[in-house]
Amino acid sequence: MEFTKSLLKGKLIKRYKRFFVDVNLNKEVVTAHCPNTGSMKGLLDEGNEVHLLKHDDPKRKLKYGLEIIKAKKNFVGINTHRANKIVHHGLNNNLIKEFKNNDKINSEVFFNKETRFDFLIEKKGQKSFLEVKNVTLFRDEKTAEFPDAITTRGSKHLLALIDAIKKGYKSYLIFLVQIQNMQYFKIAKDIDSKYYDNYLIAKKAGVNFLAYRCKISSKKIYIEKKIKIIDE
């Protein structure tokens, strides 16, 4: 996934009301949209390098959108709306080992009245649901973690993926690690023990869990390599 134009580098001042960040950009303070409703734990230190995308749409209230934060020397892609686009690019370009040469890829598919999965993939008659979780948390230099806050919605998706297996589908969940240099991934069970419990239940039930790291720059973000999931 390539950005439509070059990103602008600034320094983070603060985030507030979830959707706003103040940034020092070329000695001017600008307010940018923050396209991430999560806690963004560990990323919001004042003075962190940030990269903004300037929008030309006159209807937008905010001219700038936050795309990347540099934290502990690593670029982190924080725009959750880009996660599915990155995975879709990976699917189309055979960057995900488990999903090469697919026959059909459908996005945003309802499984039931309450649950919609990110992708329904067909290959040789087999249908597989794929759910995407964007990962921005890392508390050591090599290990990414999810979630960064309690996620009841995430647990709901795990249980729905189990139900999909019972109905003849294959179920996959990909943890999209938008953090440079990570070698491992694990569930942050100290942050959400219920999600960890449901993760173990889903794994035992046959849900396939994948973790893929992204290559991140101010020009583009794309899937780079598969990393190991650690179960503790």
Tokens at 21, concatenated = 């960040």
Determine the pLDDT at residue 56.
Answer: 85
Residues in the chain with pLDDT < 70?
none
Question: Quick one: residue 3, left, alpha or beta (phi over 0 = left, psi -120 to 50 = alpha)?
Answer: beta
For 3-32, write each residue's pLDDT tens digit.
988 999 999 999 999 999 999 999 999 999
The rounded distance, in Å, linking the Cα atoms of 174 and 149 is 18
Whole-structure pTM value: 0.95
Determine the pLDDT at residue 114.
Answer: 86
Determine the pLDDT at residue 59.
Answer: 85
Q: Do residues 47 and 11 make contact, with C-beta atoms less than 8 angstroms apart?
A: yes
